Amino acid sequence: MSYRGMHLRHATTLAMALSCIALSSMAADNHLQNKRKSPIADQELFFAPVPKAVCGPDDNPETALQGQVPAPMRSGFQGFSCNMQLIGQVRDEGANWQTAEWREGQGPTKKVCAFHGTAAPTANTLPRNNYGVRVIDVTDPTKPYITSYLKSISMLDPWESLKTNQARKLLGAVNAQNGAGGPEIDIYDLSVDCRFPQLLASTAQVDPNDPIPIIGHEGNWAPDGLTYYGSDLRYSPATAVPGNIGRYYAIDTTDTTRPQLIANWQTGVPGGRVHGLSVSDDGNRGYFVSIGGLGGNPSDITDPNVPANNGLLIYDLSEIQARKQNPQVKLIGSVFWKDGSVAQHTIHVKIKGKPYIVFVDEGGSGGISSALQEQVACDAGLTPFPMARIIDISDETKPKIVSKLMLEVHDPANCDKVLPDLTGLLTFTYGSHYCSVDNIHKATTLACGYFNSGIRVFDIRDPIRPREIAYYNPAGTTTPSAGANHYRTGGWLTQPGGPDWCNAQVHMDAEQGTLWTTCQDNGLLSLKFTHNAWPFAETTTPPGMQN
């Protein structure tokens, strides 16, 4: 049935809420598979596009739906702006998936360093001058400049694993070239001068009890800097639960010159895989993701007897944190949904003292990579594109979705208006990828990269009713950037001059009313908020508190 026909048939239902379609949480890993047969939850909360930002008189606002770049504008796209303006840029050879920041000092001695990955040397055939992680001094956001390049093996393409640790003044990444590198982890010291990080270790991690080597992709530090957690998307032993590909692993970084692999585990979610994560302040809780989605049959998306497998996993990591022999990881709670897939990452935050998880998907309800999958989602009355959502974890055993950072382009009621924009494009269009908060302990603001929809900033002081306050979608470039994964061997993944891929973490500075991030062809962008849109009176951005 077409989406339009379904809309007419179910007008009353679609006028109400989209379901969070969450499943009940599970008690433990060994019971997970048997207990995930419960039906999809009924509609509980009203989810709709967030209120649009109110732009100023000198802005260049969107001309159609919220987040949309209409097809006629995609060749020679000139960009959109609302309550933000560009004040500095370092395009150089572009950027790829992730950014990290180090901030130190105050006033005249303040120093801010930006780090971002670039495409692996083998990613495409475009000529390049420099490879590896780019280090950029952004102390003066109007005059950012490159200070050095990091070219150890993991830094040649850290993919989504590039992270700093405030407690121990470290920068780390695993070898994730082209999304699936080798078993190495690289650690750098930032304590002397963040503009010129000093290499402490670049070593392969081997589990003597498992002959299959680790493959890097994603990762993050525990806040104390003593453990680095990573994800291996390709791991598939003979003993795995059917379809359960991938594993999480923990590396002891107590001695930063001799990191050692100490644990690894699979999720146990049938058909589930691994990706991003965050860890509690005390290191005893982990907020990991289960990548899920359609299992190959389009009817699965609406079949209540086919359980969802995309969602949040809350783990007890205390045995790893305590360095027990042969540490075991225990599942405490979980929640899954079908209006999204390819779970990307989490942020553990507190809003007005209450604990939440900001959760970001990378795939829409039907999947990540084809027009057919988008249509399957639309026909089911679900969003075709991924988005962020906020999950209440006051009860860790029963996490509950309380809001979604949905734009108008995500609303299935707008499928007929949006899908024609994307003819010929296979992936990463109007969807989310990475988000950041101003302060994980006192979060007021969420900033996200929504690929073709640009950089979006939300007020989350009321987590149940978030609202958009600003956005910036940079102009398209007419030539590809050699360090971006937006271009791959065989061609550009969008039309020349079309909207860029804005997909990396965003780093906010309340003191200056600015933020910086990267978009793949445009490189590093430094932006200033206008029209008093941000910061709020209670907003703070302490160093190291923006995930």
Q: Is 392 contained in some domain? A: yes
Q: What's the chain's average pLDDT?
A: 89
Q: Which two tokens stand for residue 474?
A: 């940079």
Residue 40 scores a pLDDT above 90? no
Residue 42, pLDDT score: 33
Q: Is 319 contained in some domain? A: yes
Domain of residue 74, residue span: 3-529
Residue 229 scores a pLDDT above 50? yes
Residue 280, pLDDT score: 98
Residue with the larger pLDDT of the pair 107 and 126: 126
| pTM greater than 0.75 (yes/no) | yes
Task: Report d(CA 494, CA 429) in Å as an integer.
Answer: 9
Task: Report d(CA 495, CA 10) in Å as an integer.
Answer: 37
Amino acid at site 438: D
Task: Report d(CA 46, CA 16) in Å as an integer.
Answer: 7
Instruction: Give the Cβ contact number of residue 15 at 10 Å.
Output: 9
- Residue that has been written with the tokens 């003044």 in this structure: 169
Q: Which two tokens stand for residue 456?
A: 């979006």
Question: Judging by DSSP bridges, how do beta strands 218-221 and 400-405 pair with one another?
Answer: unpaired
Residue 350, pLDDT score: 98
Q: Is 534 contained in some domain? A: no
Q: Is 40 contained in some domain? A: yes
Q: How many domains does the chain have?
A: 1
CA atoms within 13 A on the CB side of 455: 32
Per-residue pLDDT reduced to its tens digit, 62-99: 999 999 999 999 989 999 999 999 999 999 999 999 99
DSSP codes joined into one string, 240-262: SPTT---EEEEEE-SSTTS-EEE
Task: Report d(CA 440, CA 3) in Å as an integer.
Answer: 39
Residue 24, pLDDT score: 32
Least confident among 43-47, 121-125, 425-429: 43-47
Q: Is 419 contained in some domain? A: yes
Q: Is 191 contained in some domain? A: yes
Task: Report d(CA 43, CA 21) in Å as an integer.
Answer: 7
Residue 46, pLDDT score: 55
Overall residue count recorded for the chain in this entry: 547
Per-residue pLDDT reduced to its tens digit, 290-301: 999 877 788 899
Least confident among 31-40, 53-62, 191-200: 31-40
Residues contacting 412, CB < 8 A, separation 6+ = 3, 14, 18, 377, 378, 381, 382, 383, 384
Instruction: Tell which residue, 261, 231, 229, has the closest CA to residue 246.
Output: 231
CATH number of the structural domain spanning residue 56: 2.130.10.10
On the question of a cis peptide bond just before residue 208, with omega within 30 degrees of 0, the verdict is: no
Which strands make up the sheet holding 514-519, listed edge to edge? 84-90, 523-529, 514-519, 507-509
Question: Judging by DSSP bridges, how do beta strands 247-252 and 260-265 pair with one another?
Answer: antiparallel
Residue 26 scores a pLDDT above 50? no
